[in-house]
Structure 1
């Protein structure tokens, strides 16, 4: 079970209010006695309640209450993308049941025991790879006018619009080249991230890390911040610089920035990518937690169906069938993704 972070950005008003405007379907968030900090929105027709933020967060930590009333009666609660939780109450003494279903692997760079990027690479990256990665960085910086910038609370609306425009262009270029879809480019999701990120930056809850070639952004990473952790939301690099392993160089500079600014971790968040496995030193799992009223037949049936559904989705991911679906989606909608 993970540590509960009091200022998890996905539990703060900045994120919650914008998310509700985009995905809340006009529902008002509701709190329940069995869990602290979280709020829920109700399904339009069924007695099912999803946590505010749902799968648009990059990880929720929560704490079960030590005083549970009967407001869960007849209901099902789904908490998505759980990284850790604390249980101060013995659920066996209540009619509140719980299923925990793994969904995505997660990867984190734990930096607490390292004083520099070189120290971390020495402890995590092989000698051969260290040499190659440092060589890529030297060649990139000697070939172009490279500089790096982290934007936190010091960005104008005009610059923000410009960077997000570059961000979208590079993402479309990258995934068109990979011949697959990126969920972040879904119009609804992109509109949400674009609206929520600026106020989060101004509140020091988010940042944009940009690699420039002179004045041209060639790699951009959207990051969220908690008290001592930096969370990777989405990242992209210009494929024209691929031979310099620009994505690797960007990660190196972000780790360096984290250590210099006393962050204890860079969390790559959910989903498998080869670079995450290579750079992270602590793998973990994201889970969906399903709480339900054990005394209600309807609640038990709905909870069981969701448990089976989430388990099936994990099976599809493990067998790489989801990747094939994304590739097929790209093939069928190629013209749209080329726009």
Structure 2
């Protein structure tokens, strides 16, 4: 990757500021572009960014003879990274331990979004995407916002606050513990600077002026690399994640990007929209003339192989879900109650109902908006035209909600 954003001075220095205790990073002359910090206790060095980057590329300088007898670990190196191994010194040993599968959209052979769309997605997927996009844009007041280049601090603070809210909500719904929230101060500082340098892009899908999906990507010379994404699950039926991807691809064609890299992790949306797979490796480098470096390197390889074995068994997902449960012990559980949906063939008695705000009601019944939006997906019409009525009930009774519109007329009975 040319001009890799994760080996840029800005990314590495801000990362080290937030995550390294050592204010003086180490740079090895034979490894171009990368800064390192020493492990707190053990005799090896780790690349700046560690496992928080979305793909590190580097080169070996074959003109440098001194390997310093040290051991280095470089996380998340895509297998298309050429390290000039043919030019490596005979004392430099590089082990490559498989980690994650990666996916990218190679756009170089296509003339436009429509050209890529027609030749990459199957006809059934194309038809579903077009249908869902039409429903989404006809039901809601939709705006696509691109943050790229200089931005005022006021606008930035508001945008990042919305982004953080979406991330927290998304992982809470998944019931998975994420490090992203603890890492947010890093992203908050980094993204502002990277936007100024035009090395970052945020795509936001807004409904009535409020973001319902946001995604962060970083820019190389001709590559856009996805990093963080989150969306409001109330809009799940409308496949906003797929719509967001289409906007990224359109942007790539507008700005002459050859590659949209979806980075690590295997998900349905990636396999649908991409045309190239690759593998991330963890690189362990050692000076084979040094017994200490050689021994440390061998032990690290075994360690990363064990981690990958556990990852293949989904142990990391088990740990993330367990951490979420532990963190939320004793917290108030989401008020999800049983319900049923009833058809209304005739006009209901308005004297038994009162007009209410959906946003006010979801404070007590968070799942209510998702039900209304799912109904809207089945029978598309303008969301702004819907009316929500609540039954005037006794305190001991569960409420009924009547949803009405041009095409909608049904009851949601809370049980």
What TM-score, normalized by structure 1, do the two folds share? 0.92
Please report how far the alpha carbon of residue 38 of structure 1 lies from its aligned counterpart in structure 2 after TM superposition: 1.6
How many pairs does the alignment contain? 331
Unpaired segments ≥5 residues, structure 2 = 334-415
Q: Give the equivalent residue in structure 2 for 1:200.
A: 194
Q: Give the equivalent residue in structure 1 for 2:21.
A: 25
Partners of 2:222 and 2:256 within 8 A in 1: yes
The answer on 1:66 being equivalent to 2:62 is yes
Structure number having the greater helix percentage: 1
- Structure 1 residues 249, 335: closer, same or farther in 2, change over 3 A? farther
Q: Give the equivalent residue in structure 1 for 2:8.
A: 12
Residue 282 of structure 2 is aligned with which of 288, 308, 326?
Answer: 288
CA RMSD between the two structures = 1.8
Greater relative contact order, per chain length (Cα 8 Å cut-off, separation 6+):
1
Q: Give the equivalent residue in structure 2 for 1:140.
A: 136
Residue 259 of structure 2 is aligned with which of 262, 265, 268?
Answer: 265
Q: Give the equivalent residue in structure 1 for 2:108.
A: 112
Partners of 1:152 and 1:201 within 8 A in 2: yes
CA distance, structure 1, for counterparts of residue 119 and residue 177 of structure 2:
35
The answer on 1:173 being equivalent to 2:164 is no
Residue 74 of structure 2 is aligned with which of 72, 79, 88?
Answer: 79
Q: Secondary structure at the match of 1:108?
A: strand
Please report how far the alpha carbon of residue 33 of structure 1 lies from its aligned counterpart in structure 2 after TM superposition: 2.8
CA distance, structure 2, for counterparts of residue 182 and residue 163 of structure 1:
20
Q: Give the equivalent residue in structure 1 for 2:206.
A: 212
Partners of 1:27 and 1:41 within 8 A in 2: no
Partners of 1:66 and 1:89 within 8 A in 2: no
Residue 229 of structure 2 is aligned with which of 220, 235, 259?
Answer: 235
Matches within 5 A, 1:82-161: 82-83=77-78, 84-87=81-84, 89-91=86-88, 93-161=89-157
- Structure 1 residues 17, 52: closer, same or farther in 2, change over 3 A? same
The CA deviation string for residues 183-228 of structure 1, in whole angstroms up to 9 with x for no partner, is 322x1x1111111100100110112111111211111111101111
Partners of 1:176 and 1:338 within 8 A in 2: no
Partners of 1:66 and 1:88 within 8 A in 2: no
Q: Secondary structure at the match of 2:145?
A: strand
CA distance, structure 2, for counterparts of residue 110 and residue 265 of structure 1:
5
